[in-house]
Chains A and B, each alone.
Chain A
Amino acid sequence: EADIYQTPRYLVIGTGKKITLECSQTMGHDKMYWYQQDPGMELHLIHYSYGVNSTEKGDLSSESTVSRIRTEHFPLTLESARPSHTSQYLCASSDSQGQGEFSSYEQYFGPGTRLTVT
């Protein structure tokens, strides 16, 4: 089982509150990711990081922000939560295998945070 952790697992919060979703991994992976997933829908990449002090926005526009000060830690912050932010947020990390353009890598997911904004 992968050593990647997310807290809290469930969060119900009122509109306008600031929240931080925590994600930590103990595998020493350089790459980390945040995905958003609604019920019955595909995962959408919202942020990723190649390593410390590296963060990029993903495919899906998100009002959240991330930081990567330490290799093992990749928190996601919402400055002002809204009902439209209600979703499941999944954190993942990956290693790299192989070389060149055919390299493959395993991506390990955390258990997720189910966020409900009322």
Chain B
Amino acid sequence: KNQVEQSPQSLIILEGKNCTLQCNYTVSPFSNLRWYKQDTGRGPVSLTIMTFSENTKSNGRYTATLDADTKQSSLHITASQLSDSASYICVVSDRGSTLGRLYFGRGTQLTVWP
């Protein structure tokens, strides 16, 4: 069964600190992995997208890593800001269909305190 598991479920950090969010997946055949940021009451916004040949990608203070062998990914946030408070969703796409179906994790709810 294709699944995406994220940890931790929730996380509280102080402003300016770094944090790392984890994602494990069993989706096969693998096409790509994305990290989305979803603010409360809004739609998800893409942060990074990586194919199997990429093992790291950055977008400002966000750095995603991918280990396609162990089927693990992480999202590292440096120098956190209050605006980073959101749910971070790991999404994996398969390449077994024309649609390239997306499998969503439940997200990690990050809260940044001043």
Contacts and interface: CB of A to CB of B under 8 A. Distances in A.
A107 B102 contact: yes
A60 B51 CA distance: 26
Interface of A: 2, 4, 31, 40-45, 48, 59, 90, 92, 101-112, 114
Nearest to A43: B104
A42 B104 contact: yes
A102 B31 CA distance: 6
Contacts of A105: 100
A58 B106 CA distance: 18
Contacts of A31: 99
18 contacts: A2-B45, A31-B99, A40-B107, A42-B4, A43-B89, A44-B104, A90-B44, A92-B43, A102-B31, A102-B51, A102-B95, A104-B32, A105-B100, A107-B102, A108-B46, A109-B43, A111-B41, A112-B41
A104 B4 CA distance: 18
Interface residues of B, number: 24
Interface string B20-35: 0000000000011000
Contacts of A45: 101-102
A106 B36 CA distance: 11
Contact of B105 (A4, A42, A44, A107): A42
B104 A107 contact: no
B46 A104 contact: no
